[in-house]
């Protein structure tokens, strides 16, 4: 097949001669085309030949984007796996196995509705297990946001959050002898270490109790009572109490109890202001017109 050129200065006769020679000698006579070929053009005939060749001595590879590649007789198709990503095994002459290794490395991202590893599933932002209600984490967890849950438990007996340690029902600080609570702290009952002092509520009233046998409660301070009364229940818990009341003071007042043992006398009670109160006393008795004693006044003789 010779290369044929038509110069711009050539005649029509030259063009006719070269064209006839090209179609007759180079392209060939369509009438002599093999009857197994149905195409009437060179391109069509070539395509049919490729199909016939690939169907008898070769095969075609097609990917998910419909891109095709014909592998003819004597040619090779290479299936190359990438370390930590895919594994390819050729066996039996015509078997190709493509799989994943035990450890898969993904350099960008992996997206799927549900990812399953053993009995652990990841769906959206939820991690769950298919054979239990407990997800065991064998290593430390570091989070830049909040960790929340209905119950947060551990398999050990002691758990530490920062410098706060929880062991059983005991909470302590690992770097101090005090735990600071910056907000309101509520409990049914507050007790000291040995339970001698307790603070709770009973019958709708706040209560401070001493569990000592003698009920002694030491107040190492000057109490300022925000009120006008102190109520004493007595040894019997009932609806009868003794109330100690002060009148609203208009200035600072001081009432002093002597360093002595005795009974406090009341202004509107009798039987207390006796001669035993005074070291040396005289008695004044007031009688009515019938000679009946009305008042007895005991006073100091001095």
Let me know: does 187 contact 169? Beta carbons within 8 Å: no
Residue 271 CA to residue 295 CA, distance in Å, equals 11
Identify the segments of the chain with pLDDT beneath 70: 1-2, 36, 52-58, 73-74, 93, 152-155, 267-282, 298-302
Q: Is 252 left (phi over 0), alpha (psi -120 to 50) or beta?
A: beta
**pLDDT value, residue 198:** 95
Instruction: Give the strand pairing for 95-99 and 114-117.
Output: unpaired
Sheet harboring 114-117: ordered strands across?
114-117, 120-123, 126-129
Distance linking the first and last C-alpha atoms of the chain: 163
Let me know: does 17 contact 25? Beta carbons within 8 Å: no
Query: What's the angle, vertex CA 212, arms to CA 208 and CA 217, rounded to 5?
Result: 45
**pLDDT value, residue 282:** 65
Let me know: does 245 contact 231? Beta carbons within 8 Å: no
Residue 37 CA to residue 34 CA, distance in Å, equals 6
Residue 172 CA to residue 165 CA, distance in Å, equals 5
Instruction: Give the strand pairing for 164-167 and 197-202.
Output: unpaired
- Residue 80 exposure: Cα atoms within 13 Å on the Cβ side: 3
Residue 191 CA to residue 198 CA, distance in Å, equals 4
**pLDDT value, residue 57:** 63
Give the single-character DSSP code of 247: -
Residue 243 CA to residue 210 CA, distance in Å, equals 21
Q: Is the pTM of this model over 0.85?
A: no
């Amino acid at each position: 097949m010779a290369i044929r050129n038509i110069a711009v200065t050539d005649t029509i006769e030259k063009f006719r001669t070269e064209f006839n020679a090209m179609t007759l000698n180079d392209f060939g006579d369509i009438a002599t085309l093999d009857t197994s070929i149905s195409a009437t053009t060179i391109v069509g005939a070539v395509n049919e030949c490729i199909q016939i060749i690939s169907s008898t001595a070769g095969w075609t590879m097609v990917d998910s984007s419909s891109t095709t590649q014909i592998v003819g007789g004597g040619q090779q198709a290479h299936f190359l796996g990438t370390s930590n990503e895919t594994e390819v095994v050729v066996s039996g002459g015509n078997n190709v196995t493509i799989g994943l290794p035990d450890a898969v490395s993904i350099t960008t991202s992996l997206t799927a509705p549900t990812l399953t590893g053993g009995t652990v599933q990841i769906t959206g932002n939820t991690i769950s297990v298919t054979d239990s209600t407990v997800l065991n984490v064998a290593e430390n967890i570091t989070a830049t946001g909040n960790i929340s849950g209905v119950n947060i438990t551990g398999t050990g007996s002691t758990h530490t959050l920062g410098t706060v340690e929880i062991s059983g029902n005991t909470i302590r600080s690992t770097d101090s002898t005090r735990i600071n609570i910056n907000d309101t702290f509520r409990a049914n009952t507050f007790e000291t270490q040995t339970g001698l002092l307790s603070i709770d509520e009973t019958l709708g009233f706040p209560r401070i109790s001493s569990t000592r046998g003698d009920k002694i409660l030491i107040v190492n301070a000057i109490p300022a009572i925000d009120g006008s009364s102190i109520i004493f229940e007595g040894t019997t818990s009932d609806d009868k109490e003794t109330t100690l009341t002060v009148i609203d003071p208009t200035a600072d007042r001081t009432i002093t109890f002597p360093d002595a043992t005795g009974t406090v006398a009341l202004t509107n009670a009798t039987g207390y202001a006796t001669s035993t109160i005074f070291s040396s006393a005289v008695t004044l008795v007031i009688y009515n017109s019938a000679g009946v004693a009305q008042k007895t006044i005991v006073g100091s003789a001095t």
